[in-house]
Chain A
C-alpha cells in the first residue's frame, strides 16, 4: 500500500513537472502561438496509448500460445488503459484543431484510423462482457485483440503514407521534419511522465483482474461446498 502511494506521488510529480515544462520551458511556436503547447499532452498520450495497445497485443499473443489466465489479465488491462489514453488523444486533438484548422474534426486518414482504433478496443472490452465462460472469453478476446492491433501500424503510417489535414510527423518523419531541441526535450520528458502514468494504471488494473480470477476460484469452491 505504501509502495503504491509512493508510486502515485512520483507519477503526480512527473505529470506536474511535464506540465510546467510545457507551459514555462518550451518556447512559444512562431506560427501557432500558445495553442501548440497541447502537443506535449496530445502526442505523449498518443505514444503511451499505443504502447499500452502493444502490451495488449503481446498479452493476446501469449494467451493464444500459452493459455495462462495471467496473459488474458494483462491483455484486458492494457486494452482498457490504452483506451483511456486514446480518449485523451481524441479529446485534446479537436481542442487543438479548432483554433488552428478552423474545424473540430475531419475524416482524414490519421483522425479516422485513430477513431477506428478507439472503436476496436471498445468492441474488445464489450466482447468480454458477452461471453460467460472464462476460457472461451479469454480466447475470443485474444483473437479479436490481435486483429484490433492491425490498426496500430495504420495509425502510425497514416501521416507518412497519405496527405492529411493532420500535420506530418515531427519524430521519425524524415528530412525536413523535427522539433526545436528544447521542445523535443520537453516532449521526451512528457512522454516519460505519461509512460509512468500508464505503468501505474496498468499495475492497478492488472491487480483488479487478478482479484477477479481469485474471486472466480472462491466462487467455484463455494458452489462445490
Chain B
C-alpha cells in the first residue's frame, strides 16, 4: 500500500478545489441576487 496517502491527498486536494470554487460561485450569485432585488425594490418605490 505504498503511496496510498499521496493518492488520497491528490483526490482530497482536487475535490477540495472544486468544492471551494463551486461555493465561491454560489456565494457570489447569492450576493448579486440580493443586490439586484434591493435595486429593483428601490426603483419600484421611487416610481
Q: Which A residues are within 8 Å of any B CB, using their own CB?
A: 15, 19, 23, 33-35, 37-38, 41-42, 45, 84, 87-88, 91-92, 95-96, 98-99, 197, 201, 204-205, 207-208, 211-212, 214-215, 218-219, 221-222, 225
Contacts and interface: CB of A to CB of B under 8 A. Distances in A.
Interface of B: 1-4, 6-7, 9-11, 13-15, 17-18, 21-22, 25-26, 28-29, 32-33, 35-36, 39-40, 42-43, 46-47
Contacts of B9: 95
Nearest to A45: B14
A88 B18 contact: yes
Given A91-B13, A92-B10, A218-B40, A33 B22 contact: no
A92 B11 CA distance: 8
Nearest to B21: A84
- 3 smallest CB-CB distances across A and B, nearest first, come from A35-B3, A92-B10, A95-B10
A72 to B, nearest CB: 17
